[in-house]
Amino acid sequence: MSIISPTSWSAGTAELASLDDFIHALDAEISASGESAAVAVLVLSLRRTDRIAALTLPEYAGQVRQCFLERIQPVLRDKDKLVFVSEDECWLMLPQLTSEALAILAVHRLLNELSKPLKVAAQTIFFNPSIGIACAPMHGNSAVSLLRVADSAQKSAQRDNEKFLMPQARAGQSVMPDNLLVVLEEVLDANRLTMRYQPKVDLHSNRVVSVEALVRWPSDHPLTIETTHLIDIAERCGLIELLTMRVFNQVLHEVVNWRSAGMEMLVWVNLSARLLSHEQLPKILARILSIWDVPASSIGLEITESALIHDIEHTTNLLFELKDMGFHLSIDDFGTGYSSLAYLRRFPIDELKIDRMFIHGMTDSVQDKQIVQSIIGLAHNFGLPVVAEGVEDEKTLTALELLGCDQIQGFWFAKPMHGDQLMRWCNEFHRTVKR
Ligand code: C2E
Ligand code: MG
Ligand code: MG
């Protein structure tokens, strides 16, 4: 690997290091974690379109690095470290991972950020990244051995036109991500995923107005897999379509059960970014709805802000088509992307959900509270109701109420629950109104 003028950076959430610091810190993390946690190293080749400008104009290169760091920092944790080894390559260290698969999750998020061009001054820079991943203790027990594995993985990924590669473990050790693919296929084939439903409460009427459907890994399975992790793996290995169809079938089945018990309930289903580019999506959804004889108006689709801004023209057409079919539409995790609300207003959306990251922070951080306040103000200017997710205590609830937030979803009211508990819970809630 060629190393050209490694540079030290010291801004932002990820603590960034010089090359020597990086290697020392990596060795220290590897010895500190032993077998109890994984430490991942990523060799990231950017393959940027402005490489020559970056090599010849140092000031410009510095500016681009700063923008690049700002872009990827939301993906990194405080304990992660990064060093540039050349204008076109950086190394990242992700310590204290409970599973190697989390490195893959981080890689996905990085690739997602790098799929959007970076605009610096008059330049638009595109990346065609490839990432090599190595983890201790799986691939080695020293900084140098890990870097060697990650470097060669990056080169193989680039050669095979893959976005990333994590090599197989040494014989006798399990490779979590590969196992997961097989295991996930089995679980999907056997239709063993389950659903939970979390109420959204309207603060003006104190009524449950809808629920969000959240998928769960089977609780009786020997492996435990978090939902975000499950979705990430399904997206990565092309199983997200199947997973979503399984989710829709279960949700619609539940809606039919609730209806026959006398409960009409709007259910919000999360739609993965990848599905937005699926040409058949409206047709497939229409078919499932007709099988269960449920109108689209009983279903809302939650789409994350970042998913919307990939291919604006296509997404706008698709959302209008889904809207015309009768689906409700919501922008999920608002505030984490880079889009302005004015920009998003071109989409036919019915509500906006503020990411729970800001909600968690708002009673302690003035900045988070200001962000929440300005999102609510802006959304109301556009005539959009706002949902706050992740409300865990009364203090946050009261603060949101004072800011004029419309709906609340969070553990304070209810954790996601089984479909057959929902009706009883709603009746009880409406009788007592927990406030
Ligand atoms: P999301 O759509 O933003 O869903 C809200 C997440 O916040 C859920 O996590 C929910 O359990 C959690 N949550 C709600 N209230 C609170 C609270 O008061 N405190 C805390 N700490 N958390 C709260 P969950 O179920 O783990 O889902 C994570 C993400 O996975 C979801 O985020 C969504 O993006 C995705 N997801 C879940 N189910 C599906 C699905 O069926 N399909 C797809 N494509 N994605 C799904
Ligand atoms: Mg959601
Ligand atoms: Mg959300």
- Mean pLDDT is lowest, of 37-41, 74-78, 125-129, 131-135, for 74-78
pLDDT band at 338 (very low <50, low <70, confident <90, very high): low
Answer yes or no: is pLDDT of 393 > 50: yes
Among 114, 139, 165, which residue terminates a domain? 165
Torsion of Cα atoms, 51 then 55 then 58 then 62, to 10° = 40
Residues 6 or more apart from 54 whose CB is under 8 A from it?
48, 60, 61, 64, 87, 88
Angstrom distance (rounded) from CA 266 to CA 261: 15
- The percent of residues in the chain predicted with pLDDT above 70, rounded, is 91
Among 165, 191, 209, which residue terminates a domain? 165
Ligand nearest to the CA of 249: 1
Residue 171 lies in a domain: no
Residue 170 lies in a domain: no
The pair of structure tokens assigned to 148 is: 């060697």
Residue 68 lies in a domain: yes
Angstrom distance (rounded) from CA 172 to CA 406: 54
Residue 174 lies in a domain: no
**Tally of structural domains, the chain:** 2
Whether 270 lines ligand 1, by a CB cut-off of 6 Å, is yes
Please enumerate, as own/partner, the contacts of 388-392 that have beta carbons within 8 Å and a separation of 24 or more. Answer: 388/353, 388/354, 388/356, 388/359, 389/353, 389/354, 389/355, 389/356, 389/359, 390/355, 390/356, 390/357, 390/359, 390/360, 391/359, 392/360
| CATH, residue 394 | 3.20.20.450
Whether 302 lines ligand 1, by a CB cut-off of 6 Å, is yes
Q: Specify whether 159 is located in the same domain as 206.
A: no
The pair of structure tokens assigned to 124 is: 């638009």
Nearest CA, atom 38, ligand 1: 214
Q: Do residues 269 and 215 touch, judged by C-beta distance below 8 A?
A: no
Q: Specify whether 107 is located in the same domain as 202.
A: no
- The domain in which residue 299 lies consists of 180-432
Angstrom distance (rounded) from CA 26 to CA 12: 20
Q: Specify whether 67 is located in the same domain as 145.
A: yes
pLDDT at 335: 79
Q: Specify whether 161 is located in the same domain as 188.
A: no
Nearest CA, atom 37, ligand 1: 214
Q: Specify whether 157 is located in the same domain as 246.
A: no
Q: Residues 346-354: what's their mean pLDDT?
A: 93
Angstrom distance (rounded) from CA 102 to CA 229: 8
Q: Do residues 146 and 137 touch, judged by C-beta distance below 8 A?
A: no
Ligand 1 test: best mutation among 193, 252, 270, most atoms within 8 Å of CB? 270
Nearest CA, atom 19, ligand 1: 390
Q: Specify whether 89 is located in the same domain as 235.
A: no
pLDDT at 246: 96
pLDDT at 7: 41
- Mean pLDDT is lowest, of 28-42, 195-209, 224-238, 294-308, for 224-238
Whether 227 lines ligand 1, by a CB cut-off of 6 Å, is yes
Beta strands 118-120 and 89-97, pairing class: unpaired
Residue 405 lies in a domain: yes
- Range list of H helices, 190-280: 227-236, 240-260, 273-276
Residue 173 lies in a domain: no
Answer yes or no: is pLDDT of 168 > 50: yes
pLDDT band at 251 (very low <50, low <70, confident <90, very high): very high
Cα of 26 from ligand 2 centre, angstroms: 36
Q: Residues 129-142: what's their mean pLDDT?
A: 92
Nearest CA, atom 5, ligand 1: 389
Nearest ligand 1 atom, CA 333? 3
Q: Residues 284-290: what's their mean pLDDT?
A: 96
Ligand nearest to the CA of 200: 1
Torsion of Cα atoms, 272 then 273 then 276 then 280, to 10° = -50
Whether 286 lines ligand 1, by a CB cut-off of 6 Å, is no
Cα of 269 from ligand 2 centre, angstroms: 7
Q: Specify whether 190 is located in the same domain as 335.
A: yes
Nearest CA, atom 41, ligand 1: 215
Q: Specify whether 211 is located in the same domain as 288.
A: yes
Q: Specify whether 244 is located in the same domain as 350.
A: yes
Whether 215 lines ligand 1, by a CB cut-off of 6 Å, is yes
Whether 382 lines ligand 1, by a CB cut-off of 6 Å, is no
Residue 386 lies in a domain: yes
Residues with CB under 5 Å of ion ligand 3 are: 332-333
Q: Specify whether 213 is located in the same domain as 298.
A: yes
Q: Is 333 helix (H, G, I), strand (E, B) or coil?
A: strand
Whether 231 lines ligand 1, by a CB cut-off of 6 Å, is yes
| AA identity, residue 97 | L
Residue 172 lies in a domain: no
pTM over 0.85, yes/no: no
Among 115, 142, 165, which residue terminates a domain? 165
Cα of 331 from ligand 1 centre, angstroms: 14
Q: Is 54 helix (H, G, I), strand (E, B) or coil?
A: helix
Cα of 8 from ligand 2 centre, angstroms: 38
pLDDT band at 45 (very low <50, low <70, confident <90, very high): very high
Bigger pLDDT: 114 or 102? 114
Q: Specify whether 114 is located in the same domain as 190.
A: no
Q: Specify whether 77 is located in the same domain as 198.
A: no
Angstrom distance (rounded) from CA 104 to CA 107: 5
Nearest ligand 1 atom, CA 411? 18
Arithmetic mean of pLDDT over the chain = 87
Answer yes or no: is pLDDT of 427 > 60: yes
Nearest ligand 1 atom, CA 416? 11
Q: Give Cα 274 to chain centroid, integer Å.
A: 12
Cα of 214 from ligand 1 centre, angstroms: 6
